[in-house]
C-alpha cells in the first residue's frame, strides 16, 4: 500500500527523489511570511506572559510558535543557499 501524501523527506514512493524547485512561487512567499509572523507572535506571547506573570501554558505556546516558525524558516534559508550556490 503506497502512502497517499508525498514524504516530507523529499522522496517519492519507490525511492525516487523529488525534483528541485525551479522558482520561488507565491505559495512559497506566503509560507515564508507566515513563518516570520509565527516567530514574531511567539515573542509577543512570551513578552506579555512574562510581563503579566508567569503562566506555564502561555510560555509553552510562545516557545512552540518560535520553534515552529524557525524550523519552517530553516527550509527557506536552505533553499536560498542552494539556489545561490548553483
Residue 18's nearest CA partner among 28, 26, 9 is 9
Q: pTM above 0.85?
A: no
Domain ranges of the chain: 26-85
Residue 76's nearest CA partner among 9, 30, 7, 44 is 30
Give residue 4's pLDDT band: very low, low, confident or very high (50, 70, 90).
low
Instruction: Give the contacts of 24 (CB within 8 A, at least 6 positions apart).
Output: 79
- The answer to whether residue 69 scores a pLDDT higher than 90 is yes
For the stretch 45-54, pLDDT in tens is: 999 999 988 8
Q: What integer pLDDT is reported at residue 1 of this predicted model?
A: 47
Of 82 and 41, the one with more pLDDT: 41
Instruction: Give the contacts of 35 (CB within 8 A, at least 6 positions apart).
Output: 69, 70, 72, 73, 76
Round to whole Å and give the CA distance between 62 and 43. 6
Amino acid at each position: 500500500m503506497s502512502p497517499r501524501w508525498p514524504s516530507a523527506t523529499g522522496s517519492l514512493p519507490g525511492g525516487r527523489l523529488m525534483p528541485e524547485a525551479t522558482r520561488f512561487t507565491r505559495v512559497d512567499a506566503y509560507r515564508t511570511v507566515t513563518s516570520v509572523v509565527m516567530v514574531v507572535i511567539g515573542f509577543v506571547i512570551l513578552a506579555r506572559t512574562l510581563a503579566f506573570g508567569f503562566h506555564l501554558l502561555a510560555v509553552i505556546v510562545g516557545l512552540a510558535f518560535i520553534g515552529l516558525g524557525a524550523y519552517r524558516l530553516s527550509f527557506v534559508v536552505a533553499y536560498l543557499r542552494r539556489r545561490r550556490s548553483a
